[in-house]
Amino acid sequence: MGTNLTSKLNCLINILKDENYFRLEHIANEVPFYIFDYDPEAELDVRKTIKIISDSDQLKYRIEVVNIYDFIISYLQEKDFLEKIFEMEQKLSPEKFLTRLKSIIDPELIINKIVQLNDEKNPDVFILTGIGNSYPIIRIHQIINRLQEKVCNKVVIVMYPGTFDVNETEGKLILFNSLESKAFYRAFKICGGSLK
């Protein structure tokens, strides 16, 4: 694990141990959405740290980790679609397969799951992971934009394998440091600068 990533991950852990951090950062009625961007090659190190965070009893916030990719797989298994998906992949062109898969996995499913977890567990902070693995089925902007309306009183941290490039008024996401999103975001860059 590189020094920069280590210090960013330690920064995140320290923030989650500081009961005042999100109160201080929640300025001017901004929606408390944060992007933690990292080098996609460091995915395994980030996963290990999220596991440590998830298992920790020393944090000042109730944390709920939502792995979007795992949710997609669980949903497909629950609906008995997984085998059908594998068969479809063999028969269809990549473009048609992706279109079909996107028709089954609607971003609203994930948003509803997060809203359900919010109602059931009432966490202070949601950490969204599995962003890279779920691409291109789900794109994170589809979730962020809608989720801001549904859980606006909760802190949401998106673990993003790529770059969150910010300027004075907005930010743009560059997945895997190469796929630039056309959408712009009002979010804070956590552990590495902020958008105000």
Ordered per-residue pLDDT tens for the chain, 196 residues: 566 888 999 999 999 998 888 875 555 566 688 999 999 999 999 999 999 999 998 899 999 999 999 999 999 999 999 899 999 999 999 999 999 999 999 999 999 999 999 999 999 999 999 999 999 999 888 888 888 888 877 899 999 999 887 765 567 777 887 777 766 566 788 987 544 3
Q: Is 194 a domain residue?
A: no
φ, ψ dihedrals at 155, nearest 5°: -80, 135
Predicted local confidence at residue 151, as pLDDT: 82
- CB of 100 within 8 A of CB of 88? yes
Number of domains in the chain: 1
- Calpha distance 189→96 (Å, rounded): 36
Taking CA atoms, 138 is separated from 10, 13, 181, 194, 196, in Å, by: 29, 27, 13, 25, 27
Q: Is 69 a domain residue?
A: yes
Q: Is 196 a domain residue?
A: no
- Structural domain including 134 reads 3-189
Q: Is 195 a domain residue?
A: no
Predicted local confidence at residue 21, as pLDDT: 83
- Calpha distance 173→163 (Å, rounded): 6
Q: Is 39 a domain residue?
A: yes
Taking CA atoms, 102 is separated from 72, 88, 115, in Å, by: 11, 13, 21
Q: Is 183 a domain residue?
A: yes
Task: Tell me if the pTM is above 0.75.
Answer: yes
Q: Is 175 a domain residue?
A: yes
